Structure 1
Amino acid sequence: MPQKRKPPRLWLRAEKQRDGTIRNTWIIKDGTANIRTGCLEDQVDEAETKLAEYLAEKYEAPRGGRSSEIKVGDVLTIYLDEKSESTSRPKETEQAISRLNEFFGDKLVSEIKGKLCRDFAVHRKTQSGSRRDLEILRAALRYYHKEYGLDVLPAVTLPEKSVPRERYLTRSEAAALLWACMGWEKHGEGKSVFWTRRRDQKRMHLARLVLIGIYTGTRLGAILNLQWMRSTTGGVVDLERSVIFRRADGERMAHNKRKTPVKMARRLVAHAHRWKRLDGWSDEKAGLRYVVNYLGDPITKPHKAFRSARAAAGLGEDVTPHVLRHTRGTWLAQAGVHSSEAAASLGLTVEEYERTYLHNDPDFQQNAADAY
């Protein structure tokens, strides 16, 4: 019995170069055809985007019908073509559709059961990542059913939500991380600790990222997109009003990734004025565009430099850029800031803030504890 034809998918192919070296590149396998993407092995995101574009161009998926006759790949193709661009995070949606298509593409909609969703979570190897992808699958199925109709709309089983991270930086850890960003390295432990400074200052750009993260609790992506002027590609630092507008002009926001304006601390305002001067801004001329930049260029992936700074500061692998946001929330709770004001500065609802951070308040449940 002939095997089912697999849908187009990414394949890592080793290619021999003219100088005899071997280079791994991503191609799209579609039956017997191999389509070059022009993406190297480490350009996974770009290759997934190429595959998504290929799927959108190649197929004219059926509109409506029986769930036992419609393939999941067709549902994903229609969602990619008609809806993904209007989502709050179109690039991430395209990448998720590529991953979903690789696993679910050749399966029928009627085959979507709890076990298949759990198998995908195992295949994805990350609980939070699989949950986000399956949420997009659920959205694609609902969109298809609403627009074109399915006789049966399957239920998508999601993994449990990850336990919120408890890790945050102490004041001394935050200071050590800043020192490391400015080129210093920590040696020894306890009373024998001493610091030395590197000659090459390749982590200086991270100092801005760390300070903005600690003082505002802004998410990493929004920090990297911050600019000195209004734009449609990122938020803006308004020094006249001492406010960071984290949302780009006209940007759509996910319901769970709010980008509310945040008031800047006086210390951060002073830093920002200095940064803007260093970036070449004056009354007469404009300077560099992005607040956090490396030699004038915007930063897309700061993780390697952050790991280097983290190691230089003597901090563990559990310290990630997102910990800066948790540090802000925790310090606000420890300072006894009112929940509504603290939640607004973080872009959270009061319920989300109290559930995640309020237990760090020194007066947490004190009245209840001493009621009798």
Structure 2
Amino acid sequence: MKEYDEETQKVLIDRLCAAIGRLDSYFGKYKLGQVTTDLTNGYVTHRAGKTVEGRKGGRVGGKGGSRRDLETLRAAIGHHAKQNLHHGIVHIAMPEKGASRERWLTRSEAARLLWICWRYQEEQTIHRGTNKGIKIKTEKYTLRHVAKFLLIGLYTGTRAASIASASIHKAPGKAYVDLDEGLYYRKRIGHRATNKKQPTMPIPDRLLAHMRRWVDKRIVASHFVEWNGLPVKSVKTGMASAVEKAGLDLSEGNVTPHTLRHTAATWLMQQGVELWQASGYLGMSEKTLIDNYGHHHPDYMRDAASLITQKRKITRSKLGRRVA
């Protein structure tokens, strides 16, 4: 937990406690030796019919939620075994992983979202007088911090936590942006490297110009994404509001902060960027890039598509035999 800020730690602890509560209500009456495949499969069905507290619209849990709960149970059993508190193997049957999210933004969608975030003004309702009930726009641009988050996410494909911690100052717990050299040190200072790769990257010229202007005009105090002069913990609420106001099509999936990473990877592939450069830029393995975004690359299976229609080439050897 030490790799996360205080707010994120609280969210993760709350989620863990909720998962433990659900697991206990189902598995609590059983002993470890009674955990069978049928029992764990039954939990998936049990979980799917339950309304999840805090879920928007009172939605019920699905296979993804039950899988995450069972992963928590598996980790707990593994820890129990490492402490030599039980001997033998207890297998936890897992439901299949759901399909990965592939929602990404077209350039027109991104432009629409940015326009809404930068131009949107807070509205207030008049409560007295002849104009009672009329809404008027204030001088507060309440989504501009989301616009900056969007620009950084779209142009760099950086994870949300590193964007939120991006600062003009070198300090523990912050990702550092060197505006002189044009480099973005995405791994937060003092944090150890994890499997979530966060390599240092060159900042694209257009984004670098924006960042320098934000600092010059004192739009930025210390962090590039701020609300009332303070760094934000999350832009989920603001981004959800912006997506609604922009009227984006959500039939192919919701648009979240992580969608920006999908979008950056997709745009790089559509531009035909070499795999090793794109994977290094995003902090993503080449395999993950190919498996999830490779089909957007202009060279994707082009040789196969062109050769499939050609006749087989026949040549003759010196002996006059036909050679394929």
**Structure 1-normalised TM-score?**
0.65
Q: Deviations over 1:78-113 (max 9, x none)?
A: xxxxxx658998656533431232123434323433
- The residue that corresponds to 1:113 in the other structure is 36
RMSD: 2.8
Equivalent pairs counted in the alignment come to 271
Q: Which moved more, 1:347-356 or 1:161-170?
A: 161-170
- The residue that corresponds to 2:132 in the other structure is none
Aligned match for 1:104, one of 15, 23, 45: 23
- The residue that corresponds to 2:79 in the other structure is 143
Q: Deviations over 1:188-219 (max 9, x none)?
A: xxxxxxxxx95431111111100011001112
- The residue that corresponds to 1:327 in the other structure is 263
Q: Deviations over 1:305-356 (max 9, x none)?
A: 2122112222134222221111101100000001111112222110000001
C-alpha distance in 2 between matches for 1:86 and 1:228: 21
C-alpha distance in 1 between matches for 2:64 and 2:198: 21
C-alpha distance in 2 between matches for 1:117 and 1:231: 46
Aligned match for 2:176, one of 228, 231, 236: 236
- The residue that corresponds to 1:268 in the other structure is 207
Q: Which amino acid is 1:233 matched to?
A: G
Aligned match for 2:289, one of 353, 366, 371: 353
Change beyond 3 A, Cα 1:110–1:321: same
What SS does the aligned partner of 2:79 have? Answer: helix
Aligned match for 1:177, one of 113, 122, 130: 113
**Structure 2-normalised TM-score?**
0.74
CA contact (8 A) 1:96 1:136 kept: no
Change beyond 3 A, Cα 1:341–1:136: farther
Q: Does 1:221 align with 2:161?
A: yes
After TM superposition, list the pairs within 5 Å mapping 1:1-372 onto structure 2.
94-105=13-24, 106=28, 107-118=30-41, 119=43, 121-122=47-48, 123=50, 125-184=61-120, 199=138, 200-255=140-195, 257-279=196-218, 288-317=221-250, 318-371=254-307, 372=310
Change beyond 3 A, Cα 1:330–1:102: same
Q: Which amino acid is 2:207 matched to?
A: L
Unaligned runs of 5+ in 2: 53-60, 122-135, 311-324
C-alpha distance in 2 between matches for 1:164 and 1:219: 17
C-alpha distance in 1 between matches for 2:171 and 2:235: 22
Shift of 1:238: 1.9
Q: Which amino acid is 1:209 matched to?
A: F
Change beyond 3 A, Cα 1:85–1:308: closer
C-alpha distance in 2 between matches for 1:174 and 1:198: 24
CA contact (8 A) 1:96 1:133 kept: no
What SS does the aligned partner of 1:98 have? Answer: helix
C-alpha distance in 2 between matches for 1:163 and 1:236: 34
Change beyond 3 A, Cα 1:277–1:141: farther
CA contact (8 A) 1:246 1:261 kept: yes
Shift of 1:270: 0.7
C-alpha distance in 2 between matches for 1:86 and 1:221: 11
CA contact (8 A) 2:3 2:191 kept: no
Higher relative contact order (CA 8 A, sep 6+): 2
Change beyond 3 A, Cα 1:91–1:341: farther
Q: Which amino acid is 2:216 matched to?
A: R
Unaligned runs of 5+ in 1: 1-83, 186-196, 281-286
C-alpha distance in 2 between matches for 1:302 and 1:322: 11
Shift of 1:290: 2.0
C-alpha distance in 2 between matches for 1:116 and 1:277: 61
C-alpha distance in 2 between matches for 1:87 and 1:295: 23
What SS does the aligned partner of 2:167 have? Answer: coil
More strand per residue: 1 or 2?
Answer: 1
CA contact (8 A) 1:262 1:345 kept: yes
C-alpha distance in 2 between matches for 1:117 and 1:259: 36
